[in-house]
Every structure is written in structure tokens, then in C-alpha cells.
């Protein structure tokens, strides 16, 4: 998202709405053990055995962090030192490596279990919390920026021994992914960016009325859902809330909300992603909902025109949450793209 709509409040409202629904559902729970849940482990290629062993030695398991019920396939949260912080992450599924990057102040809990389970059928998936969010620590002596979070992502890839994974980023996570592709092109093999922009002067800003609603403490959960989904996507909204209730929620401090807001503001004047992206030879899939109120769809076209090897796919009648609104089509699109890019 561009700088004009990056506000500390914007990403907390969906979680507040979901928290109410979750209490009613009674779905947020963790197993008492810290071990891997059934179906969460995967057989990795033997050439990675040394890297996997080293990763396990460096990482620690967060006790009682394996979800129960339908979210158990995610396994426990682990932490590993990267770039001066400790990053909390989960791994599950089987196949080529895919690392997923969440958006502004979002946590691992903000991916839906449905989307993750679909992707886990095709990929060995890594999800993680950005710095200061959820299970990941922060270093508040340095400003939080999109390039710094791109450094974190590239560092995590190296620390986990992932060999040129595909990267999938949503919203600010898409912007982090674009910045990884621009500044750390050797870290990944392909990029899927959805609902992001290139920052700097070329980004198309959120309409002022939408930005105001995102920033207002008076905006209700249902109003926030109106910003994420089209008006007629009632089933998708209900499914989104129910799905998020399957994964234990994580905390985001007021300090982190402010720091990520500042990171977004700084990205609005950062030209590095725009400048370096044409040099990247990484294949890219750029997606957006045609009815996205938060990140204007024009940004997807700008990215595609700027990148050297990019494919643009617009989701008609979909909003900012298009990847969960139509998760079946989205996952099929991602798997087709990665196979065409020689992955898997």
C-alpha cells in the first residue's frame, strides 16, 4: 500500500472483528505439546539434510504453539536468530519451497487455514511474523522500513537453508517481496505479489475517503470487511472470519503499530524498489482484485510494466482480500505459475 493509507489502526480492525467471532466459535486453541502436528512434517530432499539439521540446532520451539483441530497441520512456532532479531515461523507441507510474507501489522494468524492447507498440498511452506509482530522480536534502535524487512526475509531464507524459494507476499508483504526481488534477487526463484505497490512517486495512493476510514478508530469490524471484500461477497466474508478463528491470534504492540506505520510512510518516498526492479530477472506474478479499495488496481499494471518478466492477472469482482475470497483459483494460478517458472 502506498504511504497515504498506511496507518497504525488500519490492520488491527480485522483482527478485532475476528476476535469477537473467535470467542463465539471457541476455535482458537493450541495443543499442549510443542511437537509437530500430524501432517505438518514433510520429507525434504536429502541434499538439504545438513541445512535442515543446522536449522533445527539454531531454532527453538515455542511451547504449546501447535494449533488444535483443523489448524494442527501448521505445527509449532519456532524461533531462529536473523539480522539481529529472532524470527518466529512455522513450516508445513511438501514440495518445492514457498515463503509467504504477511502485510502491514498482520501476523501468521492472518493467513487463513484454507489458503495455507491448499498451498501445503503443493509446497513446503514457510510463514513467519515480520519484525516486532507476534512471535518475532524487534530492534527498536533502528527505524523499521520496507527494505529492512526485505533484508529480514532474505536473511530468514538463508538461515532456514531454503534454496531459492518462491516468495508470495500480500499487501505490504507484496511490497516486501518486490523489494526482495529488487535488492536481493539471488534469494528467491520467483515472486507472487498481490495487493502491493512499488512505493515512491509512482505508486497510486488509496482514495482519501478510504484512507480516512482505515485510520478512524470509529471504523467497525463490519466496515473493515467492506474495505477488504466487495459488498456481495457475504459468503467469503463469513468464511474469512471462520477460517481465521482456526489459528491462535497473536499480539501486536502499539509500538509496532507505530513503527510499521512509519515504515509505510517511508516507503512512500523510497525509490529503491522502483529503480532496481527492472534489473531483476526473476519471474513475477502480479495479482490484484479489480475492486480493491485499499490498493488501487492500477498499481498492478505499473509493477508489470516496470518489471522485466512479469505476468499480470486481475481477479474480477474481488477486493483486497482476493487471495482468500477465491483461494481455489488463486492457488491454482500460483501452482501453474511456479511450474511454468521451472519450480517443482
| Domains assigned to the chain | 3-340 (3.40.50.1820)
**Within 10 A of 209 (CB to CB), how many other CB atoms are there?**
9
- pLDDT tens digits for range 227-278: 999 999 999 999 998 998 899 899 999 999 899 989 998 999 999 999 999 9
The C-alpha cell at 216 is 478512524
Check whether 40 has a pLDDT greater than 50.
Answer: no
The partner residues of 97 in beta bridges, in order of sequence, read: 124
Beta carbons of 292 and 178 less than 8 angstroms apart:
no
pLDDT given at position 221 = 84
* Distance separating alpha carbons of residues 19 and 1, to the nearest angstrom: 24
Listed residue (9, 165, 13, 152) closest to 84, CA to CA: 152
Least confident range of 40-44, 169-173, 334-338: 40-44
pLDDT given at position 205 = 86
pLDDT given at position 334 = 99
- pLDDT tens digits for range 100-154: 999 988 999 999 999 999 999 999 999 999 999 999 999 999 999 999 999 999 9
Per-range mean pLDDT, top range of 157-161, 216-220, 263-267? 157-161
6, burial (CB in 10 Å: exposed 0-12, middle 13-18, buried 19+): buried
Which residue has better confidence, 221 or 131?
131
Average pLDDT, the chain: 87
pLDDT given at position 245 = 85
- pLDDT tens digits for range 19-37: 434 433 444 455 544 433 3
**Radius of gyration of the CA atoms of the chain, in A:** 18
The pLDDT of 307-333, averaged and rounded, is: 97
pLDDT given at position 30 = 58
Q: Rounded to 5 degrees, what angle do the CA atoms 285, 256, 258 make?
A: 95
Quick one: what percent of the chain has pLDDT higher than 70? 83
Check whether 42 has a pLDDT greater than 60.
Answer: no
The pLDDT of 2-13, averaged and rounded, is: 38
Greatest alpha-carbon pair distance for the chain in Å reads 54
- pLDDT tens digits for range 183-212: 999 999 999 999 999 999 999 988 889 988
The band of 308, judged by pLDDT with boundaries at 50, 70 and 90, is very high
CB half-sphere exposure, 89, CA atoms < 13 A: 29
pLDDT given at position 53 = 59
The C-alpha cell at 101 is 510474507
The band of 55, judged by pLDDT with boundaries at 50, 70 and 90, is low
The partner residues of 191 in beta bridges, in order of sequence, read: 167, 284
Q: Name the region of 96 (left: φ>0; alpha: ψ -120 to 50; beta: rest).
A: beta
Quick one: what percent of the chain has pLDDT higher than 90? 73
Amino acid at each position: 500500500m502506498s504511504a497515504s493509507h498506511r496507518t497504525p489502526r488500519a490492520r488491527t480492525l480485522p483482527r478485532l472483528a475476528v476476535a469477537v467471532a473467535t470467542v463465539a466459535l471457541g476455535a482458537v486453541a493450541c495443543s499442549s505439546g510443542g511437537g509437530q502436528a500430524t501432517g505438518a512434517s514433510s520429507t525434504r530432499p536429502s541434499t538439504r539434510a545438513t541445512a535442515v539439521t543446522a536449522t533445527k540446532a539454531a531454532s527453538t520451539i515455542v511451547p504449546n504453539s501447535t494449533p488444535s483441530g483443523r489448524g494442527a497441520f501448521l505445527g509449532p512456532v519456532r524461533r531462529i536468530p536473523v539480522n539481529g532479531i529472532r524470527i518466529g515461523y512455522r513450516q508445513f507441507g511438501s514440495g518445492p519451497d514457498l515463503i509467504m510474507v504477511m502485510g502491514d501489522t498482520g501476523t501468521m494468524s492472518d493467513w487463513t487455514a484454507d489458503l495455507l492447507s491448499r498451498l501445503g498440498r503443493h509446497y513446503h511452506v514457510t510463514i513467519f511474523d515480520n519484525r516486532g509482530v507476534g512471535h518475532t522480536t524487534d530492534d527498536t534502535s533502528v527505524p523499521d522500513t520496507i527494505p529492512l524487512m526485505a533484508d529480514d526475509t532474505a536473511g530468514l531464507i538463508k538461515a532456514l537453508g531454503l534454496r531459492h524459494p518462491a516468495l508470495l507476499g500480500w499487501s505490504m508483504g507484496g511490497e516486501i517481496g518486490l523489494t526482495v526481488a529488487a535488492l536481493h534477487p539471488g534469494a528467491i526463484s520467483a515472486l507472487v505479489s498481490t495487493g502491493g505497490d512499488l512505493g515512491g512517486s509512482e505508486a497510486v495512493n488509496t482514495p482519501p475517503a478510504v484512507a480516512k476510514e482505515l485510520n478512524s478508530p470509529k471504523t467497525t469490524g463490519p466496515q473493515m470487511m467492506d474495505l477488504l471484500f466487495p459488498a456481495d461477497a457475504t459468503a467469503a466474508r463469513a468464511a474469512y472470519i471462520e477460517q481465521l478463528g482456526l489459528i491462535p491470534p497473536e499480539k501486536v504492540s502499539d509500538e509496532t503499530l507505530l513503527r510499521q506505520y512509519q515504515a509505510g510512510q517511508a516507503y512512500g518516498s523510497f525509490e529503491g524498489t522502483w529503480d532496481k526492479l527492472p534489473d531483476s530477472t526473476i519471474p513475477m506474478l502480479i495479482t490484484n482484485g479489480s475492486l480493491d479499495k485499499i490498493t488501487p488496481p492500477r498499481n498492478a499494471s505499473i509493477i508489470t510494466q516496470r518489471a522485466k518478466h512479469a505476468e499480470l492477472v486481475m481477479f474480477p469482482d474481488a477486493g483486497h482480500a482476493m487471495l482468500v475470497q477465491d483461494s481455489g483459483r488463486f492457488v491454482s494460478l500460483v501452482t501453474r505459475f511456479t511450474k511454468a517458472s521451472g519450480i517443482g
